Structure formats: C-alpha cells, structure tokens
C-alpha cells in the first residue's frame, strides 16, 4: 500500500506543478505524465506500476461517481522485457553432477535425477511422472509427457543412461527393500522413488535438488528449471538449431524457446563467421 500511495502522490504532485486537476485528467494528460517518467529513465516495470496505480484510482472514482468514465482504460500498459532465465555455468553443472553420494541407494537415485534433468531438459513435474518404462534402452531415448499431455521423445547421452541404469539395477531395488515394498507384477513402475518406496512428487524432487545445489556451492535461488535453461543454452552454444531445441523442450511456440535460450555474443559471432560471405 505504501508503494501504491507514493505513486499516486507523485502523480498528484506532477498535476499540481502542471496546474492540472488530478481528478479531471484525460488520456492525453496521463500519457504526458507517463512520457515524463519515461524521459527520467524510469524502468518499464516501474512505469507499468505507476500506470496501474493511476488506473486503480480512476476505476474507483468512476465506480463512486466522482468522475465520469474511465480515462485510463484507453491507455495500454508498456511492454515489459521478458527476463532471461538463470543458467548454470559448465563448472556449476559439473560440480552439481558430482555431488550425490553414489555409495548409497538415495545417492544413486539423486545422480540419475540430475543426469536426466541435464540430459533431457525435462521440467521437474515431467521428471516426477517418469516410469521405469519411460526409458528405451535400445533406442537410448526418454519418453516425456509435457503440458497438455503432449508426448515427446528425447535422446539421452551415455552418462545419463549409465547413471539411470545403475540406479534402476542397484539403488531402486534397495530403496524398495528398505521400505519393505515390492514392485507390482505389471507396470507402470515409478522411476524416482522415496525412502518409503513411493513415487517422489515434484515438490520432493525440488527439495532434493536444492539440497544438492547447496552442497555444490550453487546459489540458493537456483531452481531445478535452471537445468532446463542450461540444457537449451548449451545445445545452442554447441550449434543446435532453434527448431530442434524447440522440439526437445516441447514448446508449442518458437518465441518461447527464444526466451529460454538467449543468444550469447559468442554464438552470434560464430553465426556471422559461418554464414556471412565475408565472415571469415
């Protein structure tokens, strides 16, 4: 409420300086005010917050009959820049992947979890939904079910396959034995299971990821989704085309992929060097 009030006070002060009745400001007046804020290099998000405060005031005044109509509704909110996602460095990824204690069943599971996150670009909810049957060992692929129950097949690299196989053959049976549980005779069989032998939820996997990231010395605000961003960015850095990355991530729109996989200067330089007639 303090921020809301201060924005309205600033608008009222400007109206007073300009000899304008703040309660009778029209569209042109409010646009002039926003333009002045913009000239003062107010950030787009802050500019949008100022407009939102004024809009709320005028809606209230219109509802109370203090003013006729709503002058602000005709003003479009400023376009906001979409934030680039957090991406792990190569050193951070390597440190994270080495963190699990693979001498324990839970450590084998954690190693498989991290390798699969980095190898597939899966969302944490997609990872939680995986079954043992989701992996095709002959095809070396992982079957994921994304938003809207949309299926996609992602190839897995050798290290991820090996970590997952070791967990399935050694870690997972031990977790079931410790929980005094048995797999049903027929599938599906949940891939990532807890110490109680149950499928781990997305929330449980998230907590596990944060614990491992902390042990690896990675900032606490890094979420599992950073592995998805890193997966996409590393593919682009390695020369993968945007359409392929879009398919691997399961995005319906290419514009979404562009937000996830911001272009770096090195990649842009490489693109010019490879494609421009005088790029050598």
Same domain, 99 and 216: yes
Query: Does residue 280 fall inside a structural domain?
Result: no
For the segment 216-229, the average pLDDT, to the nearest whole number, is 88
pLDDT at 83: 55
Query: Does residue 279 fall inside a structural domain?
Result: no
Q: For 182-206, how does the pLDDT look when each residue is reduced to its tens digit (9 = 90+)?
A: 888 888 999 999 999 999 999 999 9
Same domain, 126 and 261: yes
pLDDT at 277: 67
Same domain, 109 and 66: no
The active-site residue, picked from 109, 123, 208, 229, is 123
Tell me the torsion sign for CA atoms 86, 91, 93, 98: negative
Same domain, 127 and 249: yes
Same domain, 100 and 194: yes
Same domain, 116 and 143: yes
Query: Does residue 84 fall inside a structural domain?
Result: no
- Is residue 123 among the annotated active site residues? yes
Same domain, 126 and 186: yes
- DSSP-assigned states of every residue in 139-190: TTEEEEE-GGG-EEEEE--HHHHHHHHHIIIIIHHHHHHHTT----SSS--B
pLDDT at 269: 61
- Is residue 228 among the annotated active site residues? yes
The active-site residue, picked from 50, 109, 228, 229, is 228
Same domain, 140 and 252: yes
More confident residue, 240 or 269: 240
What's the predicted TM-score (pTM) here? 0.67
Q: pLDDT > 90: what percent of the chain?
A: 48
Confidence of residue 21 (pLDDT cuts 50, 70, 90): confident
The active-site residue, picked from 45, 147, 150, 243, is 147
Q: Is the pLDDT score of 174 beyond 70? A: yes
Q: For 110-128, how does the pLDDT look when each residue is reduced to its tens digit (9 = 90+)?
A: 999 999 999 999 999 999 9
- Is residue 79 among the annotated active site residues? no
pLDDT at 257: 78
In angstroms, the CA 36 to CA 15 distance is 12
Same domain, 43 and 108: no
The 10 Å Cβ neighbour count of residue 116 is 28
Same domain, 141 and 245: yes
In angstroms, the CA 41 to CA 214 distance is 37
Domain that holds residue 260: 90-270
- Is residue 180 among the annotated active site residues? no
User: What CATH number has the domain bearing residue 107?
Assistant: 1.10.443.10
pLDDT at 209: 96
Closest residue by Cα to residue 125 from 153, 148, 104: 148
Cα angle vertex 146, ends 143, 150, to 5°?
A: 85
Confidence of residue 157 (pLDDT cuts 50, 70, 90): very high
- Is residue 229 among the annotated active site residues? no
Query: Does residue 275 fall inside a structural domain?
Result: no
Q: For 44-66, how does the pLDDT look when each residue is reduced to its tens digit (9 = 90+)?
A: 778 888 888 888 888 888 888 88
Query: Does residue 202 fall inside a structural domain?
Result: yes
User: What CATH number has the domain bearing residue 13?
Assistant: 1.10.150.130
Q: Is the pLDDT score of 91 beyond 90? A: yes
Closest residue by Cα to residue 245 from 154, 123, 130, 139: 154
- Is residue 182 among the annotated active site residues? no
């Amino acid at each position: 409420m303090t921020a809301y009030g201060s924005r309205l006070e600033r608008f009222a002060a400007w109206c007073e300086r300009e000899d304008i009745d703040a309660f009778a400001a029209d569209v042109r007046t409010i646009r002039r005010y926003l333009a002045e804020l913009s000239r003062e290099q107010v950030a787009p998000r802050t500019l949008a917050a100022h407009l939102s405060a004024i809009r709320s005031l005028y809606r209230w005044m219109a509802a109370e009959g203090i003013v006729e109509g709503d002058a602000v509704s005709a003003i479009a909110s400023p376009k906001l820049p979409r934030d680039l996602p957090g991406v792990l460095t190569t050193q951070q990824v390597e440190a994270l992947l080495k963190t699990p204690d693979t001498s324990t069943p839970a450590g084998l599971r954690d190693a498989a979890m991290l390798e699969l996150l980095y190898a597939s670009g899966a969302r944490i909810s997609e990872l939680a939904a995986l079954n043992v049957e989701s992996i095709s060992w002959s095809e070396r692929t992982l079957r994921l079910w994304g938003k809207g129950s949309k299926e996609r097949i992602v190839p897995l690299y050798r290290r991820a396959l090996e970590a997952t196989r070791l967990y399935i053959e050694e870690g997972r049976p031990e977790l079931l034995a410790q929980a005094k549980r048995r797999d049903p005779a027929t599938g599906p069989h949940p891939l990532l299971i807890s110490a109680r032998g149950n499928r781990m939820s997305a929330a449980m996997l998230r907590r596990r990821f944060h614990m491992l990231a902390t042990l690896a010395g990675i900032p606490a605000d890094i979420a599992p989704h950073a592995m998805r961003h890193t997966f996409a960015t590393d593919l682009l850095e390695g020369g993968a085309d945007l359409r392929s990355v879009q398919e691997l991530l399961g995005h319906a729109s290419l514009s979404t992929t562009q937000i996830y996989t911001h272009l770096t200067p090195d990649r842009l330089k490489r693109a010019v060097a490879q494609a421009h007639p005088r790029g050598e």
